[in-house]
Amino acid sequence: SFKTIHLILNMEVDERYKILFEPVKIGPVVAPNRFYQVPHCNGMGYRDVTSMAALRAIKAEGGWGVVCTEQVEIHHTSEITPYIELRIWDDKDLPVLSRITNAVHTHGALAGIELAYNGMNGPNLYSREVPLGPSDLPTATFSNDPVQARAMTKRDITNLRRWHRNAALRSKAAGFDIVYVYGAHGLGAPQHFLSRRYNQRTDEYGGSLKNRARLLIELIEDTKEAVGDTCAVACRIGVDELIGEEGIHREEMLELFNEIGELPDLWDLTLCSWDIDSRTSRFGEEGHQEPFVTGFKQLTTKPVVGVGRFTSPDAMVSQIRRGVLDLIGAARPSIADPFLPKKIAEDRLEDIRECIGCNICVSGDMTMSPIRCTQNPTMGEEWRKGWHPEKIHTKGKSQSVLIVGGGPSGLECARALGRRGYQVTLAEKNKELGGRVAQESRLPGLAAWSRVLDYRLGQIRQMENVDTYLGSDVTVEDILEFGSEHVVLATGSSWRNDGVGRHHLIPQKFPEGKTYTPDDIFAGRLPSGKVVIYDDDHYYLGGVIAELCQKNGCEVTLVTPAAVVSSWTVHTLEQEIIEADLLKKGIRILTRHVVQPGNNSTPESELYSVHIYTKETSILDCDALVLVTARLPNSELETGMEKVRNSWADAGVKSLTRIGDALAPATIAAAVYSGHRYARELDEEIDPDAVPFERELTEIAPEPDWKTFWQE
Ligand code: SF4
């Protein structure tokens, strides 16, 4: 129906932002505006097809003029199991891919497909084929698989070109408008060939830049020849690895652009590898790629797209007016707010749910689980739960809800319940809203996290049916007196000071007066002198507090039982960056060690580090110990309410529910989701025995005749 995009085109857009809604010709197709959802993974791929198609459809509905797939494996000789992407191995994959193009076209957007031959980045754990690369080298995978790639022969290269061409033809048959050649993020074979580090060939595919670019050029030309009559051919290319001349670097790529700038119909510029392109806000400002991508557009007449975690329309306009980009590429901003373009068109900037740059979305792909987002709790749930980011059903039979606690779960719960039309009272014991989000966003590098609060506060302020009370330390008596039908406890959690975490499961007796927790830090009670951070939480907080203490002049040692610092952040693409940053700041790191107090045979006034395997023990010379280990839900109000359950009916209280960290401490994303889920499900019939979402099962093959199947 092309409904959405045409509505936007006819809309009176603010003069300043009109340029963002201009159509852009890309080869034989025309993007209806400059909002371009670049290819991004989602952890769903071939396993959760309709979920993923729905996700893309929502982006198109939200006004993105181009909506692309994630990387799509073109051949079984290059697959990246265990990661779950799309596949276009043969015609069997076409129904899956057509489902995406149908979904995207429904709202008038162009559909793009990123064809990927990962080569030496694909360990082929599923197909058991030998990976192919430019040279005989170990595969370049996240998990250092004990697999080497084989140097491709000329025949292999001919085969690869045919496989890519076939995939392009299938893409066209599936209805795609833009077909990619992918050589970026350290993930595509054309990039491995371009790289002098990986390409050690001595034939016409190795050596000079022209030779190393030969495969890339051939793939672009093949694709244009195969489908270029009706499809635009895009090239996604990494322009700098930030490792100097040994790696792919800007000067060399500018030289290449001078030669082949006119070859594809569109250039999609990235940094490589993926972690430096998709930097978290802790390590990269909005638009941090600009110094590297600037100048390429001037070497081609073809449109150029690039990313920068742009959420501000002024920043987007500036990119275009200053000649950096033609199209505003986005993965994360389109995840946090699929309706970002539409909100700009409708002059509803205050309604934009800005990405906070935390990379929880990336963790879906890295853990092979459906994408999730801290800011957008509906992300990944569009089909399986029927959740729409901008629509919510009107309220059920109940009238009123009291929410105790204004952290991320309480705020989201209030916002979503308010949208449904309930009379909502939000009581927060502190003088400010935000809970852990407000506290943590004051720590080094986490300022952007306050957007979780900013968005919700902005929304709640527009609602007459949501009342907020600050400085309200709600008691059991208050709840009974208030008489709301439903009571939601979003009271958060408290960090433990007894060392219990993943390693110590029994509380430890640390020397009195020496220990601190993150809650002390949030309250402004900071340690001094020689400080040990004991991180058995393994996400970001231990490292961030180490950085804070170091900034405050402390001599800091970070001790963790894990093999690396902040080990879970490998899933948010930060781990190596965090560890390098802490080391550069002079923070001492002691991995595979636990901190424990003295026992019967050692003085109790001392602290010890113990190697988790050898049990070798050393005294830790420190003035303070910060324990970042685990949290306990703040459940006192629930306990108190349970004691007076007999009084609930008289007070009009029908239910009491804990949500977010008050139920089970986890990520901010989990807290927001928890608040949103409560709001969605209030007054709904929920069958506790039923799976609470739709599932899509892989088609099973016809049943073999088991008696004869393996006979000779
Ligand atoms: Fe942005 Fe975080 Fe959402 Fe990803 S998960 S889109 S980084 S807010």
pLDDT per residue over 579-634, tens digit each? 999 999 999 999 999 999 987 777 777 899 999 999 999 999 999 999 999 999 99
The span from the CA of 428 to the CA of 432, in Å, is 8
Coil, helix or strand at residue 267? strand
Which secondary-structure segment (H or E) carries 567?
none
Q: What is the pTM of this model?
A: 0.96
Task: Give distance in angstroms: CA of 361 to centre of ligand 1.
Answer: 5
Q: Which of 277, 454, 535, 661 is catalytic?
A: 277
Which secondary-structure segment (H or E) carries 532?
strand 530-535
**What does the block give as tokens for 305?**
């797209």
List, as one string, the DSSP characters of 392-448: -PPP-S--EEEEE--SHHHHHHHHHHHHHT-EEEEE-SSSSS-THHHHHTTSTT-GG
Counting from 1 in the atom list of ligand 1, the atom nearest the Cα of 281 is 7
Give residue 385's pLDDT band: very low, low, confident or very high (50, 70, 90): very high
The span from the CA of 188 to the CA of 151, in Å, is 15
- 594, 536 Cβ separation under 8 angstroms: yes
- The one-letter amino acid at 560: T
Task: Give distance in angstroms: CA of 373 to centre of ligand 1.
Answer: 5
235 bridge partner residues: 181, 267
Counting from 1 in the atom list of ligand 1, the atom nearest the Cα of 309 is 1
What residue ranges line ligand 1, CB within 6 angstroms? Answer: 332, 335-336, 355-361, 373-375
Phi-psi category of 577—alpha, beta or left, where left has phi over 0 and alpha has psi -120 to 50? alpha
Task: Please report the pLDDT score of residue 390 as a whole number.
Answer: 98
Task: Please report the pLDDT score of residue 6 as a whole number.
Answer: 58
Determine whether 608 is an active site residue.
no
- The one-letter amino acid at 6: H
Task: Please report the pLDDT score of residue 7 as a whole number.
Answer: 60
Task: Please report the pLDDT score of residue 711 as a whole number.
Answer: 86
pLDDT, tens only, 98-129: 999 999 999 999 999 999 999 999 999 999 99
Q: Whose CA is nearest to atom 5 of ligand 1?
A: 373
The span from the CA of 631 to the CA of 497, in Å, is 9
Task: Give distance in angstroms: CA of 360 to centre of ligand 1.
Answer: 6
Q: Whose CA is nearest to atom 2 of ligand 1?
A: 358
Task: Please report the pLDDT score of residue 8 as a whole number.
Answer: 64
**Is the pLDDT at 139 greater than 60, yes or no?**
yes
- 609, 595 Cβ separation under 8 angstroms: yes
pLDDT, tens only, 307-352: 999 999 999 999 999 999 999 999 999 999 999 999 999 999 999 9
Task: Please report the pLDDT score of residue 599 as a whole number.
Answer: 79
Q: What are phi and psi of 353, to 5 degrees?
A: -95, 100
In the chain, the percentage of residues whose pLDDT exceeds 90 is 94
Helices (H), 443-527: 451-461, 476-482, 518-522
When pLDDT is averaged across residues 277-295 and rounded to a whole number, the result is: 94
Task: Give distance in angstroms: CA of 366 to centre of ligand 1.
Answer: 14
Mutate to test the pocket of ligand 1, among 360, 363, 673 (most ligand atoms within 8 A of CB): 360
CA distances from 610 to 68, 559, 622 (A): 50, 10, 15
Task: Please report the pLDDT score of residue 3 as a whole number.
Answer: 56
- 485, 653 Cβ separation under 8 angstroms: yes
Task: Please report the pLDDT score of residue 208 as a whole number.
Answer: 97
Give residue 512's pLDDT band: very low, low, confident or very high (50, 70, 90): confident
pLDDT, tens only, 531-563: 999 999 999 999 999 999 999 999 999 999 999
**251-254 contacts: CB < 8 A, separation 24 or more?**
252/209, 253/296, 254/295, 254/296, 254/299
When pLDDT is averaged across residues 67-89 and rounded to a whole number, the result is: 97
When pLDDT is averaged across residues 679-689 and rounded to a whole number, the result is: 96
Q: Which of 182, 422, 516, 534 is catalytic?
A: 182
pLDDT, tens only, 218-256: 999 999 999 999 999 999 999 999 999 999 999 999 999
Task: Please report the pLDDT score of residue 1 as a whole number.
Answer: 43
Helices (H), 603-644: 636-643
The span from the CA of 544 to the CA of 523, in Å, is 16
